[in-house]
Amino acid sequence: MLKKTICALLSGAMLLLGTACSESEESGTGFLFTCALAGNPACLDPQYTDNENADIVVRNIMEGLVRLDENGVPEPAGAESYTISEDGLYYMFNLREDCRWYKKGMDEENTTPVTAQDYVFAFRRIVDPVTASPYAQEFACLKNANAIMAGTMDIAELGVSAPDDTTVIFRLEYTNPEFLQLLSQPCAVPCNEEFFLSTNGRYGLDLDTVLCNGAFYPTKWNYDPYGSDNFINFRKNPTHYDAENIAPSSLTFYILKSQADADALFANDGADVLSTMSSCVKYMKSKEHTVTSEYAETMGLIFHPDNEILQNEDLRHALAYAIDRSAYAPVLSADLKPAYGIIPPAVNLLGSSYREIYADEPLAHPYDPTKAAELFDKAEKALHLNSMNTIRIMVSTDIKDTDALLTICQEWQTLFGQYIGLETVSPDEYEQRIATGDYSIALYSIGPERNSCYEMLRQFSVQQKLLGFSSEEFTGILAELSNTGRAADSVKLYGMAEQAILDSMDFIPLFYKNSYLVSTAGNKEIGFDAFSGTIDFRYAKHFSE
């Protein structure tokens, strides 16, 4: 029923894009791919928007100096080549001379080239306080960026310059081993100043105010917050330097109201591709689907910072020592796996999973029922604790593996003689209650927005108020990491930072959680970033099966 309804609502969009029949069966090219967004992108200004749905669009219509390959390693994109100084403070990029700006209705023969000045303008916008970019702090390593963000230095002094039209130079205040990776993010794409100013403050808000240099360009953006016939159509960019290798002829992104709606649309054959955090175990067993999954988030217990009982350190340590991960591992689905550390397995360092370099099992408190009971007795006396019946673990209903949590609760009851139960709530209620602090314990998910150990750890500073986490040791390690020149020198520091979090007991890791890309059978070479959930369709192919 849902499929029929969606198809009826979007029939107009499909008629507009009826060229999918021109696909080549042999090469898999020329296909019209469809996927669902969990909400309206709202604004396609890369330097300003922090909308997750906008990121998916920007990935496909814009391109920066570098992009990440399938192993998370930066490779040239809008740049032809680059060099880095020995001290790591100077980066010089040589631009491709065949990168051009394009939008619907433009004359293909008279397009404007992407120049180095377009990158200078983009990065000045990021750190300019007037822009209020959510990405400003990520580029604090640029020379004079902090002073500019504080309003004490002119924006022209930023350490980004263009000695000519095809050379971009970055000067850093301090070394940052992840700088290339930062340049692969959607916010780090160029911005044409002349076009930006011509939009009169509406840059990125509609088709007329979007200028593209990526693999695709939007041709129709239909959105009515009170309606349901919402979509964005895209076509292959004919002026892109790699146009002959861009496989799809066009894309349609259906704009829905929630991730649950997007999941339902795909489940009812209404889309070709789905990016989701929801459990996709059923698709893994289906011959009609292809699933890519990566453990990109860490789920653990958080404790309300104002709960007097739960802020007792002996109590939290007792709870941690009473968690037997080997006991609940057998009841977990493929969606989750036991977590002993903070950084999830999908995060790479030095070309492989960080968890393969730095084992996580020695990090967590080992299962020790005797020590757990001793610590609980100590806490019980200090708190004059009679009952914990009012304390519950709040869990969102989109987490299906509650048997594992029940195993933990049963062990606590056996050891402590106190019952802590589960409270399952809808995803919407879960988010609302986390925001308002209406919980005692919650199963909470933390993940980086990019493939980065540092970015994962930084989340504990960003979410400090929610977690109640404060550690001078951790803050010092992060500061040292931000100035470490070589990634290899960071490994031990990352482990120390993980240990500082675990020792605080403000976050007790339980599971590593999968992020999924699911597609219907026959779809190949679809790019996927498990951390942001973005999909890159440039080389996506479809073969009939």
87-114 tens-digit pLDDT: 999 999 999 999 999 999 999 988 999 9
Tokens 């340049």 — which residue? 183
CATH of domain 63-205: 3.90.76.10
Q: How far is CA 313 from CA 157, 300, 307, 425, in A?
A: 48, 17, 12, 28
Q: Count Cα atoms within 13 angstroms, Cβ side, for 47.
A: 27
Q: Please, which pLDDT band fits residue 24 given cuts at 50, 70 and 90?
A: low
Q: Count Cα atoms within 13 angstroms, Cβ side, for 321.
A: 18
Closest CA to 211 of 315, 80, 122: 122
Protein fold of 1-41+214-288+521-545: D-Maltodextrin-Binding Protein; domain 2 (3.40.190)
Closest CA to 442 of 458, 463, 414, 462: 463
Q: Is 14 helix (H, G, I), strand (E, B) or coil?
A: helix
Span 150-167, pLDDT tens digits: 999 999 999 999 999 999
Give buried/exposed letters for 266-296 (b at 16+ CB in 10 A, else e). bbeebbbbbbbbbbbeebbeeeebbbebbbb
Closest CA to 323 of 423, 411, 440, 399: 411
- Give the span between the Cα atoms of 413 and 391, in whole angstroms: 13
Question: Is residue 509 predicted with pLDDT exceeding 90?
Answer: yes
Q: What letter would DSSP give residue 515?
A: E
Question: Residue 126 has which token pair?
Answer: 């990021």
Which residues, other chains included, contact 227 with Cβ-Cβ below 8 Å and sequence gap of 6+?
none
**For residues 159-188, average pLDDT:** 95
Residue 489: its pLDDT value, please?
Answer: 85
Q: What are the structural domain ranges in the chain?
A: 1-41+214-288+521-545, 63-205, 294-516
Mean pLDDT of the chain, nearest integer: 92
Residue 139: its pLDDT value, please?
Answer: 96
- Give the span between the Cα atoms of 159 and 140, in whole angstroms: 11
The answer to whether the predicted template modeling score (pTM) of the entire model surpasses 0.75 is: yes
Positive or negative, the CA dihedral 319, 320, 323, 329 is positive
Span 266-296, pLDDT tens digits: 999 999 999 999 999 899 989 999 999 999 9
Q: What is the DSSP string of 303-362?
A: E-TT-TTTT-HHHHHHHHHT--HHHHGGG--TTEEE--SSS-TT-EETTEEHHHHS-STT
Question: Residue 59 has which token pair?
Answer: 């990935």
The radius of gyration computed from the CA coordinates of the chain, to the nearest angstrom, equals 25
Span 236-262, pLDDT tens digits: 999 999 999 999 999 999 999 999 999
A 10 A CB-CB count for 412 gives: 20
Q: Please, which pLDDT band fits residue 1 given cuts at 50, 70 and 90?
A: very low
Helix ranges, 397-514 (H): 402-416, 427-436, 453-462, 464-467, 472-482, 491-504
Span 426-476, pLDDT tens digits: 999 999 999 999 999 999 999 998 999 999 999 999 999 999 999 999 999
Q: Please, which pLDDT band fits residue 228 given cuts at 50, 70 and 90?
A: confident
- Give the span between the Cα atoms of 439 and 422, in whole angstroms: 11
Give the homologous superfamily in CATH for domain 294-516.
Dipeptide-binding Protein; Domain 3 (3.10.105.10)
- Give the span between the Cα atoms of 228 and 351, in whole angstroms: 44
Closest CA to 401 of 457, 325, 346: 325
Among the residue ranges 254-268, 473-487, 500-514, the one predicted with the least confidence is 473-487
